[in-house]
Amino acid sequence: NAGVTQTPKFQVLKTGQSMTLQCAQDMNHNSMYWYRQDPGMGLRLIYYSASEGTTDKGEVPNGYNVSRLNKREFSLRLESAAPSQTSVYFCASSGTGGASYNSPLHFGNGTRLTVT
Amino acid sequence: AQKITQTQPGMFVQEKEAVTLDCTYDTSDPSYGLFWYKQPSSGEMIFLIYQGSYDQQNATEGRYSLNFQKARKSANLVISASQLGDSAMYFCAMRETPTGGGNKLTFGTGTQLKVEL
């Protein structure tokens, strides 16, 4: 019963390096999300995918790209990392069918990224 | 304008006492949902309780209840009989009418709750 799995758990990058954060869910959810969490700012939405084949920008998309690889997987890519992208990144997914817009987001355990 | 406001950066409560964590929101959408999440020091996000804008009764889940005052646009979380394990960061979040699908949530900045003996 894994739920939402994110890899890696920790990552240190140098400015300008690139990396991809991986996320997979096994709950047959249609929608997936990437959030970042910074001290004193709560969680802010970077990108989301309402369904397989679609992606949309959230509140803070600059510097990121996403790919909805299939229904299970949603990756977040940093093409050229900057110190301002030092954060904790959370992937989440949410429900399917009916009043699914009322269903809660299920979160992964987060990736702690440091950019030096 | 901030859509979700949590004005208490930190709160203390004694074990076995009740505590209320404040949350106010701003929306002109008649259909919306309000969520509360708990984030312990280990970092995971745990869903606690949900209230829909059309729900007639306040939501309850075990020791958690939501004091929903629609006219005041507030959705305060009440934790009864606090336990040491309730020490955590608590986030209020809102979902407005989904456009393009999905269930995007806007989060508040959180309240750090510490339960003391």
Q: Can you point out the beta strands (E) in chain B?
A: 4-5, 10-14, 19-21, 24-25, 32-39, 46-52, 60-61, 64-69, 74-79, 88-96, 106-107, 111-116
User: According to the model, what pLDDT value does residue B100 have?
Assistant: 64
For residue B27, pLDDT over 60 is answered with yes
Using the structure block, give the residue that is written with the tokens 């729900």.
B55
Distance from CA of B68 to the nearest CA of A (A): 16
Predicted pLDDT of residue B101: 67
Mean pLDDT of chain A: 93
Mark residue A97 as left, alpha or beta (left: phi above 0; alpha: psi -120 to 50; beta: remaining): left
Confidence check: pLDDT of A98 > 80: no
CB B57 within 8 A of CB B68: no
| A97: pLDDT strictly greater than 60 | no
Cβ within 8 Å, pair B110-A104: no
Residues ≥6 apart with Cβ < 8 Å to B84: B15, B115, B117
**Which are the contacts of B69, defined by CB distance < 8 A and separation ≥ 6?**
B75, B76
CB A65 within 8 A of CB A18: no
Average pLDDT over every residue of A51-80: 95
Q: Looking at beta carbons, which residues of chain A come within 8 Å of B43? A: 88, 109-110
Q: Which two tokens stand for residue B79?
A: 């934790």
Question: B6-15 pLDDT, tens per residue?
Answer: 999 999 999 9
Does B105 sit within 8 Å of A50, measured CB to CB?
Answer: no
Contact B53, B30 (CB under 8 A): yes
Minimal-distance CA residue of chain B relative to A5 = B44
> Is the pLDDT at A50 greater than 70, yes or no?
yes
Which among B42, B99, B103 is the top mutation candidate for probing chain A, defined by the most A β-carbons within 10 Å of its own β-carbon?
B103
Helix (H, G, I), strand (E, B) or coil at A85: helix
Burial of residue B63, with CB atoms counted within 10 A of its CB: 0-12 exposed, 13-18 middle, 19 or more buried: middle
